[in-house]
Structure formats: C-alpha cells, structure tokens
Amino acid sequence: MELINKEQVSKKLSGRLMVNKVMKFIFLLCTLVGLVVLATLLIDTILDGWRYLTVDFFTNFSSSRPDNAGIRGAIIGTLWLMATTAPIAIILSVGTALYLEEYAPKNKLVDFVKINISNLAGVPSVVFGLLGLTLFVRMAGLGNSVLAAALTMSLMILPVIVVASQEAIRSVPGSIREASIGMGATKWQTITRIILPASIPGIITGIILALSRAIGETAPLVIIGIPTILLFTPTGVLDTFSALPMQIFSWVKLPNPEFQSITAAAILVLLFILFLMNSVAIYIRNKYSKRF
C-alpha cells in the first residue's frame, strides 16, 4: 500500500487555500464597490436635500420659485397611480400564473408562452411606454389620464409578478396537491385553500417589488405624455395627473442650483417610499412563509 506523501498534500492544500483567500478578497471587493457607491450617492443626496423636507414641501404644489416649490400634486398623483395599477396588475398576473401552473396543458405552446413572459420581464420600460401610447392614449382615447398610465404600468410589471407567482406556486409540493384531491377536494378548492395560502408570501413579495419598480419609472410616463408640472390633484381615474418621478425629471433639468437641492429632497421621499415597500415585502415573506 502506497503511503500518503504529506509534503505533497500540504503543498496542494496550501495552493487551494491561497486561491480561496484570493477569491474571497475579490468577492468582498466587488461587494464593497457597490456599497461605497451607494453610500456616497445616498449621503450626497441627504446632505443636499434634508433641509428642504419641511411641511410646506409636502403641502405646496410645484412652483417656478424654489422657496414655494412642493410635491403635493406629485405625491397625490403617485398614490392614484399605484392605487389603480396594483389591482389591475395583481388580478391579471396572479390569474395568469394560476392558469399556466394549474390548468394549462403541458405542451410546447404553453412552454413557449412561459418563455416569452419571462423574456418580457427584461424588456426596457420605454417599449411599454410606446405600447401604452398606441393602445391606451390614442386607440382607447384615454389621453394622459391616471387610467392610461396605470394600464401601461400594469403591462410593464405584469411579467415580473407572473414569474414570481409561478415560482411561488411551483414551490408548493405536489404531494400536498395530491393529498387534497385524494380527500375529495376539487381543483378550485385545492387552489384556494391549499396552494394560494402556501404561496402568498412569494406572490406578495413579487407584487411589492414590482410595484416598487413601477413607482420609480419615468420613461413610460414621459412617452404617454404625463405633465411634469400640474397645479391640481386628480379626483378620478380619467383625470390628468403628475407623479413624483416626473416632478424629479422636471426639476433636475432647471439651471437654478436651489432646484437641484429640491430635487434631492424629492428623491429622498421616493427612496423612503421604496424602502418602506421593500421592508413590507421582507416582513411578509419572513412572517408567513411556510416550510413543507
């Protein structure tokens, strides 16, 4: 029996450990680059905009004078947009995911549809803006209303929610489905009482993350003609409105240095909303996730 050469083993092991240390350092460096850039941008934005976060900033409409400029119209318009986008996107996307995973036959056509839905999640938002301009603004005659923007945003985030919902539904073990049907439950009873409750954490997480993307998008709103400055708030889904990303887009182009600081304050408000929505998603996922 050949004896183990300890010196050779030690030499090979030391080489592997060195490679491991080098890769660990490279991965740490990659992480630090992203964190440092993010921290720099965040600190710079906070230093520029915190002093403008006053009560008047939230209660005033946009103005050509920096001292009187506010985000009241943009905030209310954003709330209208999200309140209209959410139910449209949720109903269509979750229904699509349930059909594809639970009812659709397993064939090449269904696989083709699934692949294309996944590909749509990576399509630039400006393309959805052009689609919304053609379908909803011009053909449907909705103009630059809340409903037209909500339908456009729903199309944009629908693939994201569909894919997330499919993954959440797929994660429910098949044995759970079979046990439910074996006890006499119908397909619909199995979906509503077994599959949906088990997959809701993943579905809601996907919904909130998709809405977080929609709330910060500017390109589709620019394409469908949402005004950058509006001195009134919408009272219905067919009214014209403005949104926080459009307000930021309008202010950042102005040459007055004070408007750059006001833009930073509006960005902080948008970042806070995004942080709040993502925190809710993490909380729901951790609280209601089930282990099978």
36-78 pLDDT, tens per residue? Answer: 999 999 999 999 888 888 898 998 888 888 888 889 989 999 9
Closest CA to 201 of 146, 97, 83, 281: 281
CA distance 126 to 131: 9
Give this prediction's pTM: 0.83
Is 92 domain-assigned? yes
Is 87 domain-assigned? yes
Q: Which pLDDT belongs to residue 1?
A: 45
Is 48 domain-assigned? no
pLDDT at position 20 over 50: yes
Residue 255 has phi, psi (to 5 degrees) of -75, -20
Is 7 domain-assigned? no
Is 166 domain-assigned? yes
Q: How many domains does the chain have?
A: 1
Three-state secondary structure string covering the chain? CCCCCHHHHHHHHHHHHHHHHHHHHHHHHHHHHHHHHHHHHHHHHHHHHHHHCCHHHHHCCCCCCHHHCCCHHHHHHHHHHHHHHHHHHHHHHHHHHHHHHHHCCCCHHHHHHHHHHHHHCCCCHHHHHHHHHHHHHHHCCCCCEHHHHHHHHHHHHHHHHHHHHHHHHHCCCHHHHHHHHHCCCCHHHHHHHHHHHHHHHHHHHHHHHHHHHHHCCCHHHHHCCCCCCCCCCCCCCCCECCCHHHHHHHHHCCCCHHHHHHHHHHHHHHHHHHHHHHHHHHHHHHHHCCCC
Residues spanned by the domain of 258: 56-288
pLDDT, mean of residues 186-192: 87
Is 21 domain-assigned? no
Is 185 domain-assigned? yes
Q: What is the mean pLDDT of the chain?
A: 87
Query: Binning pLDDT at 50, 70 and 90, where does residue 292 land?
Result: low
Closest CA to 62 of 52, 73, 53, 54: 73
Q: Which pLDDT belongs to residue 3?
A: 57
Is 161 domain-assigned? yes
Looking up residue 153, the CATH number of its domain turns out to be 1.10.3720.10
Q: Which pLDDT belongs to residue 228?
A: 80
Query: Binning pLDDT at 50, 70 and 90, where does residue 231 land?
Result: confident
